[in-house]
Chain A
Amino acid sequence: MFKQLSVLMTTLYLFSLNVSAYEYRVGIIEYPPHAQLENKLPNGRIVDYVQAIITSHGHQVKLSASPVKRALKRLAEGDLDILLPIEASTENILTFTKPLFKLVPGLCFQKQDFLPILSATHRFKGMKVGHTDGIDITKTLDGSGAKLVPLKGKFALERGLKMLKAGRFDAFYHPNPIFLYHRNNPNSKHVACSYFHGLSSNTYVAVSPQLNEERRVLLEGAFNSMMENESYTDFFNEL
């Protein structure tokens, strides 16, 4: 009896979701390597992830990309239902409670040179550390006596990793190495990364205050459920 009722309730629940199929207007902020623009249309793993969540519940997705300020205005006015990714959660922006993913800068090393605890900053002294040009370097590293070497160009990250593997750098600074040092990423066979944990921040899905409460709750439930099954980090690193 209990099982039958469970099946009935679940079916009704799924049916109710399907009959009220809705086209979610999803704003994407350009956020390489997770979201890029191609012919003005957003694509990338974060777009795939959102689409997978929404369409698996029988709804449609209408994607659009805007610069951050304009996107936030559109979200506030109800021209977008959700917007992502948004770094940190501020007082004025409504977001889902659970972050989509965490941002923590770190250092990557050849495994034999791995430094697991980066608060031991005295160990950076004299190290040659590569990084992509133009990114913010944490003060902890900048003032540590490490020799910082910026790499310019579109494929600076890839080149930096090659140079690290070849022993031309002692370490390579990465703004979020969890997407590099991951069990599904082939780089993790040779390279290991550790983190400046105190500098962590979260990345969220922002929600329009105009979005119907019921839809918002259902959508957040769908995101939570997906994230429990497969986090965005795992999804990004799928082979």
Chain B
Amino acid sequence: MKILKFITLLLILVSANIAWSEPRYKYTSESDVETQQLLVEMTRMFTAAKVVIFKNQPVINSTTSNKENLFGDNYLKQVKVAYQNVFKEPFPKSDHFFKEQFIACMIEVMDENRTLITDVDIEFKGLIPATYASQLSHKFSNLGLGIKIKFTAPKKLLRNQFNEPDAWEVDSITKFLEDSWVKNEAYFDASAMLNDKPAFRYITPLYHSKMCLGCHGVAADNPLNKNKPEYLWTSYDIAGFPMEGLLLGQLGGGVSISIFK
């Protein structure tokens, strides 16, 4: 039995190696439903990874803490726990090449920030959920696999020009802002375009949670103002941006994923 398992493992490794050696990944799916499910899971993985970054802010910004739980498998374990806690279901199986690559990118982004995270002289590292999300999306989207992920926002709330929404995303965000749109409902488009090429597109609205308000909320939410008299409060966040004054539950943007057909 063990021999059989070993041979199966070998075959999987060999086939995986062959698949990975292709310069381009051609996405195929049985149905639009299957594609949508993949996109739902990836969006949730993205969100869970951001939650871990938020929860670990004290560790990330510490100059003395042990940081090993932020890297490699330890980090992934935290993401899996966050996924279960947030979505009340187990972390998805790595049964798709995109998911495998996405998980690898999550870990790699943390590793690329290792020097900063472990820097004993710098307190605020700037590795917050939004910057992590941007780094992860740029890294994954640049793999040349025909899949793009973007952490985007309405233009008036945009802080990073590289996350600017395209026309399809602007339309989707506009829909999310309509009273008739059911809160938290995502939008899937199986016949959309991206850069003039046909693509599956999926965007999930993001509403401001507590983890966002420290930077995007009102002065009272700003951690820099904690324990200070109100006349000394600043309306600039820790990164130096003017706070937008948003409230809990207000739309902040969306996670947009596109797969070229």
Return the CB mask of B194-230 against A: 1 if under 8 Å, else 0. Answer: 0000000000000000000000000000000000000
B121 x A111 contact (CB < 8 A): yes
Q: Cβ of B98 < 8 Å from any Cβ of A?
A: no
A192 x B162 contact (CB < 8 A): no
Q: Closest CB-CB distance, A180 to chain B, in whole Å?
A: 10
Q: Cβ of B6 < 8 Å from any Cβ of A?
A: yes
Q: Cβ of B80 < 8 Å from any Cβ of A?
A: no
Q: Cβ of B115 < 8 Å from any Cβ of A?
A: yes
Stretch at the interface among A29-37, A147-155, A213-221: A213-221
Q: Closest CB-CB distance, B63 to chain A, in whole Å?
A: 11
Stretch at the interface among A52-60, A62-70, A71-79, A112-120: A112-120
- In this complex, how many residues of chain B approach chain A with their Cβ under 8 Å: the count is 43
A116 x B126 contact (CB < 8 A): yes
With contacts A120-B239, A178-B112, A200-B142 known, is A221 near B17, CB below 8 A?
A: yes
Stretch at the interface among A17-25, A90-98, A128-136, A163-171: A90-98
Q: Cβ of A51 < 8 Å from any Cβ of B?
A: no
Taken together as a complex, chains A and B put the C-alpha atoms of A194 and B21 apart, in Å, by 32
Q: Closest residue of chain A to B119, judged by CB?
A: A192
Q: Cβ of B261 < 8 Å from any Cβ of A?
A: no
B122 x A1 contact (CB < 8 A): no
List residues of A (77-94) whose CB comes within 8 Å of B's CBs: 89, 91, 93-94
Q: A interface, by DSSP: helix, strand, loop or mixed? A: mixed
User: Which of B3, B134, B159, B239 makes the CB contact (< 8 A) with A2?
Assistant: B3
A116 x B124 contact (CB < 8 A): yes
B125 x A183 contact (CB < 8 A): no
List residues of B (88-123) whose CB comes within 8 Å of A's CBs: 111-112, 114-116, 118-119, 121-122
Q: Cβ of B143 < 8 Å from any Cβ of A?
A: yes
List residues of A (102-144) whose CB comes within 8 Å of B's CBs: 102, 111, 114-117, 119-120, 122-123, 140
User: Which of A89, A117, A194, A224 makes the CB contact (< 8 A) with B144?
Assistant: A89
Taken together as a complex, chains A and B put the C-alpha atoms of A117 and B17 apart, in Å, by 37
B162 x A217 contact (CB < 8 A): no
B114 x A97 contact (CB < 8 A): no
A117 x B162 contact (CB < 8 A): no
Return the CB mask of B133-149 against A: 1 if under 8 Å, else 0. Answer: 01100110011110000
A198 x B160 contact (CB < 8 A): yes
Q: Cβ of A181 < 8 Å from any Cβ of B?
A: yes
B112 x A102 contact (CB < 8 A): yes
Taken together as a complex, chains A and B put the C-alpha atoms of A178 and B108 apart, in Å, by 13
Q: Cβ of B180 < 8 Å from any Cβ of A?
A: no
**Top 10 A-B pairs, shortest CB-CB distance:** A116-B126, A198-B162, A119-B160, A117-B239, A89-B144, A2-B2, A120-B240, A117-B126, A220-B21, A111-B121
5 new A-B contacts at CB < 8 Å, known A97-B20, A116-B127, A220-B21:
A2-B6, A116-B239, A119-B161, A192-B116, A198-B163
A residues with a Cβ closer than 8 A to B are: 1-2, 5-6, 9, 89, 91, 93-99, 102, 111, 114-117, 119-120, 122-123, 140, 178, 181-183, 188, 192, 194, 197-202, 216-217, 220-221, 224, 231, 233
